[in-house]
Structure 1
Amino acid sequence: MKKLLMTAIFGTVLVLSACGGNDEENADNENNDTATEEPAENEAPADENENAGDEGGGGTVDTAAAEEAYQQSCQSCHGADLSGQVGPSLQAVGSEYSREEILEIIQNGKGSMPGGQATGEDAEMIASWLAEKK
């Protein structure tokens, strides 16, 4: 019985730590926003990373920035390829939810997902980017 209880507690701690705790890392990244960023060797030029079709936003989505924000805030639960791990797959989330609905989920959470994993501009970029996934 003790082993089962300890396993359950360890599993819960592991899941909760994987989905949270990015506040300090995000604060560090926000402080470095003024620094000039050079694209990595495998990234396409910025103009190739911007896509039209932002539902409800009326602008373009900076794909590279949205992917980076996703990696920092969402990848640990939803997977690098959006296929899902602890959280559900996001590969076709844009066919189920609008940009505004996705933003609301990011901000407030849904089911076992806590809210606030990404905030501000990052949350808006991620929502716009995911809304294009159909």
Structure 2
Amino acid sequence: MKKWLVAILFGSVLVLGACGGEDEADDNGATNDAGQTDGGETASAVEEVYESNCAACHGADLAGGAANLTAIGSKYTSDELKDIILNGKEGGMPAFEGRISDAEAQDLADWLAEKK
């Protein structure tokens, strides 16, 4: 009985060992032919920051009631957008300094600057 159990365990180890061995793919987005990712993780992180902090006023589709952001990149640069995000803007845009990190504000500003 012991020999049978040892044989089963040894065989299981061999089978499981043969199945593994490859590195798991990094889930940062799709990989193109050059082996580069499409930045999927970054985009979703920015979208999460937007969803958590901006969507209530600007809408999930960027076209909300407070201000339409669908083409905001044609009006402001990334640096100007970061300043507005962190320091607010007269007329209703609150400051988010202290609510989001500087890096999150920069990523969000870069993302919004692409909206033209």
Q: Please tell me the TM-score bracket, short chain as reference.
A: 0.5 to 0.7
Aligned counterpart, 1:68: 48
User: For residues 67-86 of structure 1, what are the structure 2 equivalents within 5 Å?
Assistant: 67-85=47-65
Unaligned runs of 5+ in 2: 1-25, 32-36
Aligned counterpart, 1:6: none
Give the % identical residues. 41
Q: CA deviation at 1:101?
A: 0.3
C-alpha separation in 1, matches of 2:38 and 2:106: 20
C-alpha separation in 2, matches of 1:84 and 1:101: 20
| Structure whose residues are more often strand by fraction | 1
Structure 1 outlier segments of 4+, above 6 Å: none
Higher RCO by CA contacts (8 Å cutoff, separation 6 or greater): 1
Pairing 1:90–2:69 present:
yes
C-alpha separation in 1, matches of 2:30 and 2:56: 27
Aligned counterpart, 1:113: 93
Aligned counterpart, 1:49: 39
C-alpha separation in 2, matches of 1:78 and 1:97: 16
Q: Which has the larger radius of gyration?
A: 2
TM-score (norm 2): 0.62
Pairing 1:125–2:104 present:
no
Contact map agreement 1:109 1:115 (CA 8 A) in 2: yes
Unaligned runs of 5+ in 1: 1-37, 51-60
Contact map agreement 1:107 1:119 (CA 8 A) in 2: no
